[in-house]
Homo-oligomer: A and B are copies of this chain.
Amino acid sequence: MKISEEERNAVYKTIFSRRDVRSDFTGEEIPENVLKRILTAAHHAPSVGFMQPWDFIVVNDSLTKQKIKRGFDQANLASKAMFSEVKQTQYQQFKLEGILEAPIGICVTCDRERNGPVVLGKTVKAEMDLYSAVCAIQNLWLAARAENLGVGWVSIIEDDILRKALNIPANIEIIAYLCVGYVSQFKDKPELESAGWLPRRAVEKAIHYNKWSEEQGQQ
């Protein structure tokens, strides 16, 4: 099956305009068929040995969201304190989650024991199953962008908070908590870039040929 030039351009438009969204959620409901489409896109990610280790817990219950929000607040306070005083001032100005404003959250998990103890392709690199779940997240993120839905990955929260709030068994790895919803805008640039927290690295510095090259590899 051939992808045309027009279709290719649509993929690039989606990739380059995707953002990590923490504000600007409009609160508009996500139709069930749209939600199903982005989860199906996630489910069609590559997975090591075709193990499909992921699960998706859709969170739309307000009390559950509040528990998760409290977990974020706690972790964020502790996290802020890890930065220098100068950085702390800037840090606390960032909005780093949209847990309550987004109509849904999606917790993405990884069942590391799915389909038995020996998995094709995971015999040497044990973390391949975790990486498969992350591929599912990126599929979901791009599918959501193509639906004009914003997604924000909340990483400042202890796994235990999510495990208790969502009743996730001890043997299931928690990969991500995503806030998903329609937004009033997708910003032109990542917020941390616009705010001057860190610059965009030149892509040329990230590309090496045949050998790691320190000159190019370093910032």
Contacts and interface: CB of A to CB of B under 8 A. Distances in A.
A153 B45 CA distance: 13
Best-buried of A125, A172, A176 by chain B (most CB within 10 Å): A125
Chain A: interface secondary structure?
Answer: mixed
B124 A155 contact: yes
A30 interface: no
B131 A175 contact: yes
A23 interface: no
Given A83-B118, A121-B155, A146-B3, A210 B58 contact: yes
A44 B16 contact: yes
Interface residues on A, range: 35 or more
Contact of A124 (B41, B75, B139, B166): B75
A95 interface: no
A36 to B, nearest CB: 8
A85 interface: no
A41 B40 CA distance: 22
25 contacts: A3-B17, A7-B13, A11-B142, A15-B41, A15-B142, A16-B44, A46-B141, A46-B153, A49-B197, A49-B198, A50-B197, A56-B206, A64-B210, A78-B123, A82-B123, A109-B212, A120-B192, A120-B197, A121-B155, A124-B155, A124-B156, A131-B175, A134-B134, A134-B138, A139-B142
Interface of A: 1-3, 6-8, 10-18, 20, 36-37, 39-41, 43-46, 48-52, 54-61, 64, 75, 78-79, 82-83, 91, 94, 96, 109, 111, 114-115, 118, 120-125, 127-128, 130-131, 134-135, 137-139, 141-143, 145-148, 153, 155-159, 166-169, 172, 175-176, 186, 190, 192-193, 197-198, 200-201, 203, 206-212, 214, 217, 219
